[in-house]
A and B are shown apart, each in its own frame.
Chain A
Amino acid sequence: MFFSFATRNLRRHWIRSALSIIGIVIGVVAIASLGVMGNSINLLAANIITDVGDTVVVTPHTAIGGTFAGDPRTTVDAAIPAREVEEIRRAANPHRTIPVLQGADEVEFGRGESGYARIIGLEPGDIPVLLDIADGQHLRQNQAGALVGIHLAREYGISPGSRIAIGGEDVRVAGVLAERGMGFDINPDYAIVVSDGWYESHFGAKASYPMVIVRVGDPDAIDAVKDAIESRINRREDLVDVSDSREMLGQYEEIYDQITLFLLGIGGIALVVAAVNILNVMYISVTERIREIGVMRSIGALRREILRMFLYEAVILGVIGSVVGGLLSTAFGYLISVAAIEVATAGTTFGENFTVFDQSAVGFIVFGMAFGIGTSIVAGFYPAWRASHLAPVDAMRQK
C-alpha cells in the first residue's frame, strides 16, 4: 500500500520525478564514465609500453637532458663515433653493448608499391638479443638480408622470402619481426632491420651511431653501469646522455598519474554536484509535502510508515536514475575509450583484442550506480525523517 502510494506520488509529480531522475542520471554518468575513461587510458598505457626494464640507452648529448630516447625535444642529427662506442663497451663490461645505426631510405615493396621507411642497422649477433622473430629466420653473419617490422609486413603483404629493394638495392626478406610496441630504445614495428655491414656499405656511412644500447641483465646494476659510462665518457665535457627505461616509464607513469588525477578531480566535482543536485530535488519534494505528512500522522500513520513511503519514492527514483545512468555511462565510456584508443594506437594492433571493460571499469559503473541510489535515499530520507518527528499540528501548519 505504501509502495503504490509512492508510485502514485511520483506519477502525480511526474515533471519533478523526471527532473530528479535526470539529476541522478547525470551524476551517475559523470562518475562512471570518467572512471571508465581513466581506467582505459591506464590499461592502454600498460598495454603499449614495452617492458624494457633492463636497458640503458646512450645518446649524443642534447640541450635538453634527463629525458628519454624518442622525446621529440631531443631529436637532433648527431651520432656517437665508433671510438666512443668502444669506450662505452669497456665501461659497460660485462654487459652487452649494442650500437644502433638508424636512417631512412626509399623502399620498394613489390607490386609497384614504395615509400620511405626507417632502416635500422644492427650487428647480426645483437639482433636476437633485442628482437624476436614472428616468422622466418634471423639474419646470418655476412649474409645480405632484411628483417621487416610486423606492421610494415602486414601493410605490404611481405613474408619471409619476399624481395624488397632498399634505395634500389635488392634484398631478400629473411624474417618478419614480432610486434614490440612502443619501445624505450628502438621502434622496429614500422622499420626494416638490416645487418650493420650491409647498412654501412649501402649508406656509405662511417661508423657512427645515433644510439647505443646496453643490455643490463640485473636491474640493480643499472645505476652502476650508468655511472661507469658517465664517468668514462663525460669526464671533461658532456658528450653523451645516459638514460634507462625506468626514467621513461617514470615519465609515462607521471603523465598517466596526472591524467588519472585530473579525471578523478573532475569525477570528484561531478560527485559533489550530483549529490547536491539529488539532495536538492529530493529535499524540495519532501519539504513540499510536510503538511501531507502531518495529516497522515494525525490520522494514524506511524513514523516508520511515513519513512517507508518516502524511502520507496527515493529508491524508485534512485534505481531508475542509476540504471539509466549506468547504461548511458557504459555506452559513453565505451565510445570515449574506443575513440581514445583509436587515436592513441592509430595503425597499430595494440587496440585489437583490447577491451575497456575489465573488472575495474565495471567497478566504476557499479560505484556510480550505488552512489546514485545511496545519495537519493539519504536525500529523501532525511527531510522525511525530520517531518515525521514534528508534532502533527506543526507539520500541518507548514506551508
Chain B
Amino acid sequence: MSGEPILRFAEVSKIYPLPAGDVVALDRVTLTVDPGEFIAVMGPSGSGKSTLLNLMGCLDVPTSGEIYLSGQEISQMSDDDLTRLRRDRIGFVFQQFNLIPLLSAVENVEFPLVLTAGREESRLRAIEVMRAVHLNDALFTHRPAELSGGEQQRVAIARALVNDPDLLLCDEPTGNLDSKTGSAIMEILAAENREGKTVVMVTHDPGVAAYARRTIRIVDGRVA
C-alpha cells in the first residue's frame, strides 16, 4: 500500500447541543491511522471513545474538522458512496451489538454480503466466519433475542468480518465475554491484523489493549 494513511482526523470536534448546554464529546482531535495498524483506544467512561469510533466508521458526521478516508474527505462523498464504503471496506462491532431482531444469527451475519453477492455464497461465507469466532452451529438459526450477550457479541464480530473489510472498528469487542472467549476473539482480531487489516478497538481492559501495537488515550474528548 502507499504511504497514505487509511484514516486522518484534522481538528475534528463533535458537539451535542443539549438544552442544559452543549456537550463536547470530541474536542479538536487530530490523528492518523496507517494501513495495517492495530490500535487500542482507551479512556474513562464518557470520554468520547464511541463517538470517535462512530466518526471513523462514517456513521456520524463531525460538527467541525475534516475526516479523510484513504485520502478522501468524507463530507465530500455522497451518501451512497459512504454506505458502500461501510458495506465493502469497513467492519463495525457496536458496543450494543445492534443485531437485527427479525433475522436469525446467520442471516444477521450474511446481511452485508447479501446486499451485493448471491445468497448461497453469502451463506457459506457467513458460516465460515461464525465458526471462526467459535459460535456453535446449533446457534446459527437462533434469533438475537435467544442468544446470550457473549454469543450476540460474537455474531456481531462475525458480521463485521464477513465482508473481509480493510478497516475493522470494534467498540469493546470483549466487554461481555469470559477471559477465555475474550482471548480467542483477540486472537482472531490479531490474526486479521496480521493478514493486513487495520484494526481500531475501544477497550477498558489493559490485557486486551496489550494485543494492540499502539494505544490512543482519550480524556474529556481530547487525545491525551
Which residues of chain B in 69-92 are interfacial with respect to chain A, using CB atoms and an 8 Å cutoff?
79-80, 83-84, 86-88, 92
Are B112 and A299 in contact (CB-based, < 8 A)?
Answer: yes
Q: Is residue B60 contacting chain A, with contact meaning CB distance below 8 A?
A: yes
Interface centre among A298, A303, A391 (most CB of B within 10 A): A298
Known: A1-B119, A303-B79, A305-B115. A298 touches B57 (CB 8 A): yes
- A303 cross-chain contacts in B, Cβ below 8 A: 79-80, 83
Residue interface bits A383-396, CB-to-B below 8 A is 1, else 0: 00000000111101
Q: Which of A298, A391, A394 contacts B98 (CB 8 A)?
A: A298
Nearest Cβ in chain B — how far from A143, in angstroms?
90
In the bound complex, what is the Cα–Cα distance between A1 and B102 (angstroms)?
14
Interface, chain B (partner A; CB < 8 A) = 54, 57, 59-61, 79-80, 83-84, 86-88, 92, 94, 98-102, 111-112, 114-115, 119, 159, 163
Q: Which of B87, B94, B99 contacts A300 (CB 8 A)?
A: B87
9 smallest beta-carbon distances between A and B, as pairs: A300-B87, A393-B60, A392-B59, A295-B98, A393-B59, A300-B112, A299-B112, A300-B86, A393-B54
Across the interface, name the chain B residue whose C-beta is closest to A296. Answer: B100
Across the interface, name the chain B residue whose C-beta is closest to A5. Answer: B102
Q: Which of A9, A296, A301, A391 contacts B59 (CB 8 A)?
A: A391
Q: Which of A9, A295, A300 contacts B115 (CB 8 A)?
A: A300
Are A298 and B92 in contact (CB-based, < 8 A)?
Answer: yes
Q: Beyond A292-B102, A299-B86, A303-B79, list 15 extra A-B contacts (CB 8 Å).
A: A1-B114, A294-B98, A296-B100, A296-B111, A298-B94, A299-B111, A300-B83, A300-B87, A300-B88, A300-B163, A301-B87, A301-B115, A302-B80, A391-B61, A396-B98
Considering only CB atoms and an 8 Å cut-off, how many residues of chain A contact the other chain? 22
- A295 cross-chain contacts in B, Cβ below 8 A: 98-100
Interface centre among A296, A299, A303, A392 (most CB of B within 10 A): A299
Are A292 and B87 in contact (CB-based, < 8 A)?
Answer: no
Are A8 and B102 in contact (CB-based, < 8 A)?
Answer: yes
Q: Is residue A206 contacting chain B, with contact meaning CB distance below 8 A?
A: no
Q: Is residue A297 contacting chain B, with contact meaning CB distance below 8 A?
A: yes
Q: Is residue A83 contacting chain B, with contact meaning CB distance below 8 A?
A: no
- A296 cross-chain contacts in B, Cβ below 8 A: 100, 111
- B86 cross-chain contacts in A, Cβ below 8 A: 298-300, 392
Are B102 and A12 in contact (CB-based, < 8 A)?
Answer: yes
Known: A9-B102, A299-B86. A392 touches B60 (CB 8 A): yes
Interface CB pairs A-B, < 8 A, 18: A1-B114, A1-B119, A8-B102, A295-B99, A297-B83, A298-B92, A299-B87, A299-B92, A300-B83, A300-B86, A300-B88, A302-B80, A302-B83, A302-B115, A303-B79, A391-B61, A392-B60, A394-B60
In the bound complex, what is the Cα–Cα distance between A8 and B104 (angstroms)?
12
In the bound complex, what is the Cα–Cα distance between A373 and B203 (angstroms)?
50
Nearest Cβ in chain A — how far from B70, in angstroms?
17
- B99 cross-chain contacts in A, Cβ below 8 A: 295
In the bound complex, what is the Cα–Cα distance between A302 and B215 (angstroms)?
33
Nearest Cβ in chain A — how far from B109, in angstroms?
10
- B159 cross-chain contacts in A, Cβ below 8 A: 299
In the bound complex, what is the Cα–Cα distance between A223 and B125 (angstroms)?
91
Known: A300-B112, A300-B115. A292 touches B80 (CB 8 A): no
- A393 cross-chain contacts in B, Cβ below 8 A: 54, 59-60
Nearest Cβ in chain B — how far from A292, in angstroms?
6
In the bound complex, what is the Cα–Cα distance between A381 and B20 (angstroms)?
35
- B101 cross-chain contacts in A, Cβ below 8 A: 292
Nearest Cβ in chain A — how far from B138, in angstroms?
22
Which residues of chain A in 1-53 are interfacial with respect to chain B, using CB atoms and an 8 Å cutoff?
1, 5, 8-9, 12
- B100 cross-chain contacts in A, Cβ below 8 A: 292, 295-296
- A396 cross-chain contacts in B, Cβ below 8 A: 94, 98
In the bound complex, what is the Cα–Cα distance between A319 and B92 (angstroms)?
38
Nearest Cβ in chain A — how far from B189, in angstroms?
18
- A391 cross-chain contacts in B, Cβ below 8 A: 59-61
- A9 cross-chain contacts in B, Cβ below 8 A: 102
Nearest Cβ in chain B — how far from A387, in angstroms?
13
